[in-house]
Amino acid sequence: MSERDQDAPDILLDSSASRDDGEQAPRGAVVPTQEYLPERIYLLPIHNRPFFPAQVQPLLIQRRRWEETMQRVADTPHHVVGVAYVGDAGVDQLGHEDFPTIGTAVKVHKAQGEEQQIQFIAQGMRRFRIVRWLSKTPPYLVEVTYPKEPVDAEENEARAYAMALINGIKELLPINPLYGEELKQYLNRFSPQEPGPLTDFAAAITSAKGPELQEVLETLPVMARMQKVLPLLRKEIEVAQLQSEISEQVNAQMQERQREFFLREQLKVIQKELGISKDDRENDVDTFRARLEHLTVPERVQTRIDEELDKLSVLETGSPEYGTTRNYLDWLTSLPWGVTSDDQLDLKHARTVLDRDHDGLNDVKERIIEFLAEGTFKGDVGGSILLLVGPPGVGKTSVGRSIAEALGRRFYRFSVGGMRDEAEIKGHRRTYIGAMPGKLVQAIKEVEVENPVIMLDEIDKLGQSFQGDPASALLEVLDPEQNVDFLDHYLDVRMDLSKVLFVCTANTLDSIPPALLDRMEQIRLSGYIAEEKVAIAKHHLWPRLLERDRIAKKRINLTDAALRQVIEGYAREAGVRQLEKQLHRIVRKAAVKLLENDQQTVKVSVNNLEDYLGAPLFRKEQVLKGVGVVTGLAWTAMGGATLPIEATKVHALTRGLKLTGKLGDVMQESANIAYSYALGHLGDYGADADFFNEAFVHLHVPEGATPKDGPSAGVTMTTALLSLARNQAVGRPLAMTGELTLTGQVLPVGGIREKIIAARRSDLFEVILPEANRRDYEELPDYLKEGMTVHFAKQYKDVARVVFD
């Protein structure tokens, strides 16, 4: 503030600008005046909306920018200043060219200076037109004229417009009482014979945008001005009516809800007084007690439930402990205590279900029938743990579902693969936020019986982390001696899981902890030969694909020869999952042909199979022949496979053995044993005893990118070395498997079924097996043994006798 301002009072101008009759005009009212109007006036910009003549309204301006202008106005005898609408032009960027030609001359009343702003009441007087700029920099000074406002219409027409404006204003004021009762009284002083001020007032009370109002201000003929203002007024009335309707609807809804709330509260009080209603706590208690009426709850569990119900009845419903206790009781009372389903121990029905759902797997079916027969005499099959072991895609999960259907039991499956938290098995402590029971309790609750069939899928892929060891937690679940009193951490009461039939699945046994594996009865699913895959595709896979895609069977004709070619050339794995994918590809491409070519049927044969599936992924395996080449048999997680082994003499500069083929530690040991045995017994088998003394031998197992390991190739490697030393090839298609000791003993190996299937797949119908595996071979189904010639060997000399006569 300047020195001059510090000495001056806050009111820069005196109050001599009040009306002569002593009545103070209300805010926003129209005040007709005949005051003196100077020819030169100072200018002030306004930004929000134009100021209209005969309008009274407070104005606020920046002190820093316009203080000198206001001081000069105060020094004039008339106290008149011109205000002009400049829109969004910034104060600092404002120039004289931003001012419009027409503005409003106002008289300044009660100007007061604050720290940053100056406030005064502006009384509108007349429109002015800028004739000449006397000062183009603040304070702006202009020379003006006051144009006339002609009524350029007949008296009746102008009167009609004026009456329409008065009626519109009166209609607007009740629904938007912004201007108060004083404006209504002031409005009564207007006369239709003075339409100019009336039109300006009507425009001033609308919420139209600044440019529209400036256009009204610049319209001098009163009739044209009324024609512009009347639509703006009608629009304002419509908006105000809509806002009023919205407010009424909102208020009505709120009142209705309040009314409903009060009525409901009164109804609750009345019902409680009459004893015909209960609060939320009593409802919860009654609900939990009603659940237990038809259950046989063990005494120790019933005691816990009664204690929790007593606690619930005294807790406040809004307390956190109430919610925790209520959830706990909800779980306890939702479990099927004492509810069991009757087992359907009918072997004929079981065979029907297994044969309907599965082709092949005859040994697995027989093992399941034996298991059910034992349960028939025992009267119960609960408490047992079956472990289905086999490659991916052989139907382990579906076998478990078939077992449940054969028994007439409920079935529940969940995967434990990758599970790292033992709380998934045994539940969380109730003290934790979001605590829940374990998967076993959740399964019992969902199936609603105590004796379901529960499948634990992928049990060989259990994880282990800092949160616990789920495999160890499963010991209590699966051990028949312990699961009678299984304790879930959340429930904290003992549950009897001995009636549950657990069925587990795994691809391999290596990663299953021995303590867990010891509690399971193993059933191996070794995979399918081509004939079994053909039957599975015909009876299950192909019909299911067509039904899923809603394509009639007769529209896609897949020949038997084409189906067998799909199996041999595109899906040679032990399971049928890849086979199903290839058949699905055929269905998709056939569907495209049916639609694009408008065909009724499509035939898929051997001749056009490559159009659907491309070139075969597998060619028929050619059995390697020659000196030092012998075919072995191996087991993999995907099933059986042939394993050719080659031996050759590299040079005679030094003796030695080189191994390639990405062999594991066990196979490298087998190769060294075979080399040592052959080196020490060359003379016994008709070879030069000094052959290896000056021979550097290279032993190779083809498909070098595939890791290979396991104790079953010792016999094969020894035969390859002897073939090299004798310079005599194996003269016929022959495969062998077995492990060898340094003394020539042939040790038993595993995976006999898979290896026989692999031999048949490669058209190798003569096989050498260890004598100790004779029982495993004899237990194979007849269709696998048909046409096979099998030699059993105790000592390696038995192998040499068969191979080299």
Catalytic residues: 712, 755
Gap between the Cα atoms of 280 and 168, Å rounded? 57
CB 773 within 8 A of CB 754: no
Q: Is the peptide bond before 392 cis (omega within 30 degrees of 0)?
A: no
Q: What share of residues in the chain are helix, strand, coil (percent, to 5)? A: 45, 20, 35
Per-residue DSSP letters for 672-689?
A: HHHHHHHHHSTGGGTS-T
CB 573 within 8 A of CB 393: yes
CB 735 within 8 A of CB 625: no
Gap between the Cα atoms of 531 and 694, Å rounded? 50
- What SS3 class is residue 183? helix
Across 714-803, the runs of DSSP E, i.e. the strands, are 735-736, 739-740, 746-747, 766-770, 789-793
Please give the span between the terminal C-alpha atoms of the chain, in angstroms, as a whole number: 125
Q: How far is CA 58 from CA 26, 89, 203, 273, 289, in A?
A: 11, 21, 17, 62, 73
* Neighbouring C-beta atoms of residue 164, cutoff 10 Å: 16
Q: Which of 421, 419, 505 is nearest to 455 (CA)?
A: 505
Pairing of strands 735-736, 629-636: parallel
| 772 DSSP assignment | G
- Any residues with CB less than 8 A from the CB of 131 and at least 6 apart, and which? 142, 143, 144, 145
Q: Which of 664, 633, 634, 390 is nearest to 508 (CA)?
A: 390
Supply 678's token pair.
């052959």
CB 723 within 8 A of CB 805: no
Gap between the Cα atoms of 489 and 35, Å rounded? 94
Pairing of strands 40-46, 141-145: antiparallel
Helices (H), 151-194: 155-175, 180-187
Query: Checking phi first, is residue 448 left (phi over 0); if not, alpha (psi -120 to 50) or beta?
Result: left
Gap between the Cα atoms of 746 and 717, Å rounded? 13
CA quadruple 24, 29, 34, 40: dihedral positive or negative? positive
Angle at 148 between CA 151 and CA 79, to 5 degrees: 135
Gap between the Cα atoms of 165 and 91, Å rounded? 36
Gap between the Cα atoms of 594 and 587, Å rounded? 10
Q: Which residues pair with 682 in a beta bridge?
A: none
* Neighbouring C-beta atoms of residue 298, cutoff 10 Å: 14
* Residue 118, Cβ density class (10 Å: 0-12 exposed, 13-18 middle, ≥19 buried): buried
What is the H or E stretch that residue 108 is in?
strand 102-113
The C-alpha R_g of the chain, in whole angstroms, comes to 50
Match 């969380």 to its residue by tokens: 428
- What SS3 class is residue 135? strand
CB 439 within 8 A of CB 424: yes
Gap between the Cα atoms of 426 and 34, Å rounded? 95
Q: Which amino acid is at 636?
A: T
Match 């192998």 to its residue by tokens: 799
Q: Which residues pair with 634 in a beta bridge?
A: 641
